Amino acid sequence: MGPGGGSQSPKIKYVDQKTDIQKIQTDAFRQQTKLGEIAYQQNKNNMRLGAQLDRTNAKFFQSQNLRGIRQTGAQTRLNIASQGAQTRANIDKQGEETRRNIRTTGKQERATVRTQGQQQRKAIATTGQQTRKTRKVEGKIESGLIKDRGTEQREAIKEQTKGTQAIRGTEGIEERESIKEQTKGTQAIRGTEGLEQRKGIETTGKEQRQTVGKTGEETRKTELQREMFRRYKENRDYEQAQSQARA
């Protein structure tokens, strides 16, 4: 009991102790271990045997596949050879039939062409006869028309000639009168033109002479000015040279 009248919890002290664990092999444990070893070894043997069987099966199936491929190839070659023989036989048969058809067609075409030629020659002969008859009739009609046309044309030419002669006579008289009038007018015009030309030439000559005189006068003045300027320049240059010499 404490002074306050209360109770205290007891303290418990734990002491560590080393436990000695000993493995005790029993018969069951030994049997289990042995069975595990036997099962492991059996599995290894099974795996080896399985791998060997797989390789054996692979070789067997490969050889079977090769034999199957060879058999298939041989059968395929036989089929191809048979098909080739059949195809060649069919081609030969088709060639024979085609040649027969061509010969038959040629005969029929030649017979048709002969018949067409005969019919065309007959048609051409008939057409030629009809054409010649038509040309004879047309020739007779054209000859009659040409004669009638010639007669009408000659009559028309006669009438035209008479009218033309009368017209030409009247036209000649009128033309001669017109030429006379034109000649008179032309002479009057030429006289007037000559007078005007002479007056123009006289006026032009006067103007040209006046122009030449004026030009000569201006030229002389210009040359005089140039001479005076030249003398002035020479005098100035001389004076400047004298001044420089004295300096």
pTM for the predicted model, two decimal places: 0.25
State the residue for tokens 């191809």.
80
Q: How far apart, in whole angstroms, are the C-alpha atoms of residue 40 and residue 30?
A: 15
Contact (Cβ atoms closer than 8 angstroms) between residue 38 and residue 44: no
According to the model, what pLDDT value does residue 57 have?
Answer: 82
Chain CA centroid to CA 87, Å: 48
- With a cut of 50, list the residues of the chain below it in pLDDT: 1-4
According to the model, what pLDDT value does residue 1 have?
Answer: 43
Contact (Cβ atoms closer than 8 angstroms) between residue 34 and residue 28: no
Q: Which structure tokens are listed for 5? A: 């009248």
The CA angle 174-177-180, to the nearest 5 degrees, is 150
According to the model, what pLDDT value does residue 93 have?
Answer: 85
What 3-state class would DSSP assign to 86?
helix
According to the model, what pLDDT value does residue 156 have?
Answer: 80
Radius of gyration of the chain (CA): 77
